[in-house]
Structure 1
């Protein structure tokens, strides 16, 4: 699937505010995000990779990240081979030390943060909710919801230092159209929508666009 088609699918799932929206909504790359620094979690393949690619095409300095070092290296190499300004960082978003190291690397190498795209998610089980073991509940919650909240909490002070920025949570239409299996995945996907609504109304943050 092309980058444009993938981003179009994402746009149908979730509305994104300007200037990130304008970056994602047109097939013609611009330099709208020149001088901006973006972190995209779980971005070595799929939707995350497509988002990272497009943000970089539109001028942002982008950090791609994932749990697996080899995938991070490969994704960063693929993007830099296009002449894009991209670095890679290994990060398990469910681990506090990894999140702290990710943010430190970005600040040390790129000087600040303007955009956070929280794309990390997992779905280790495919079964009705009443058959789902507790450990699966914990794992999906930790990765799909809690990590997004904690990373947001850690990134916002850096957005404020630069006068505000944009935070994007990648959710799924699955949160609105549950199917007979993967009930927990659907539940936690809709939970991220509520989380972003709560964060967006928080008066303590100067992040301009939380979507």
Structure 2
């Protein structure tokens, strides 16, 4: 009986820690008063991420290349009672990147979170047909602009004791696949996935919010694949 008691006590402590962890995950506003910048965030995955960060308590600055898109997104999120502002930002332009950061600093005093979601794919077809101009555009927006906007926000994060940078990319980086444009191709893709459905923007938004929260404070430099179990290794 003495041995059984020794076994039960660790189990009780483990159960208590599980309940505490569950409570922490479920707590309201895990990003309360954090300031977040999300690029390309007026529709699709970027919009879902901006909405989720705001729902979790952050002040969010959304951005897009077009003012009408910014206005529409801000109006929609304001309609949900969320703390959101917006500005035009073409991430390939230095002055736009500076304005995006300045908007957050001027309105909210700094930056805690950057979600780099802006990217382009201006060509679909044979690799041998890609022009130098297309390569330049892909590298300028998807690589260089991401590095430069990160460089711009890190000093502001350091003033506030640190921050989180999440870079959104495509699973195509691990498993190149053709652009699908018909239901048959879509069904064959779903067949390769452990979860038999195509992901929704909200599926990405939840993990991004987690990575920006204190619960993920010991996670850094990781690639998190949100792909429904699709094979995702080169």
TM-score (normalizing by structure 2): 0.65
1:30 CA displacement: 2.4
2:210: which partner in 1? none
Kindly provide the CA deviation profile for residues 121-168 of structure 1, in whole angstroms up to 9, marking residues without a partner as x.
111111122110111111111111111000000110000000001000
Moved over 2 A (4+): 208-211
Taking a change above 3 Å as real, the CA distance of residues 210 and 53 of structure 1, as seen in their structure-2 partners, is farther
2:230: which partner in 1? none
Q: Distance in 2 between matches of 1:30 and 1:129?
A: 47
CA RMSD of aligned residues (A): 1.8
Taking a change above 3 Å as real, the CA distance of residues 109 and 72 of structure 1, as seen in their structure-2 partners, is same
1:92: which partner in 2? 90
Q: Distance in 2 between matches of 1:84 and 1:135?
A: 40
1:185: which partner in 2? none
Of 124, 128, 137, the residue aligned with 2:122 is 124
Give the gaps of 5 or more residues in structure 1. 1-21, 182-207
Q: Distance in 2 between matches of 1:152 and 1:125?
A: 26
2:157: which partner in 1? 159
1:73: which partner in 2? 71
Alpha carbons 1:44, 1:75 under 8 Å: kept? yes
Of 36, 39, 50, the residue aligned with 1:52 is 50
Q: Distance in 2 between matches of 1:153 and 1:167?
A: 11
- Aligned pairs, number: 160
Question: Is residue 146 from structure 1 mapped to residue 138 from structure 2 by the alignment?
Answer: no
Give the gaps of 5 or more residues in structure 2. 1-21, 180-218, 223-234
Kindly provide the CA deviation profile for residues 77-133 of structure 1, in whole angstroms up to 9, marking residues without a partner as x.
100110000001100000001111111111111110000000001111111221101
SS class of match (1:87):
strand
SS class of match (1:34):
coil
1:172: which partner in 2? 170
Q: Distance in 2 between matches of 1:209 and 1:62?
A: 22
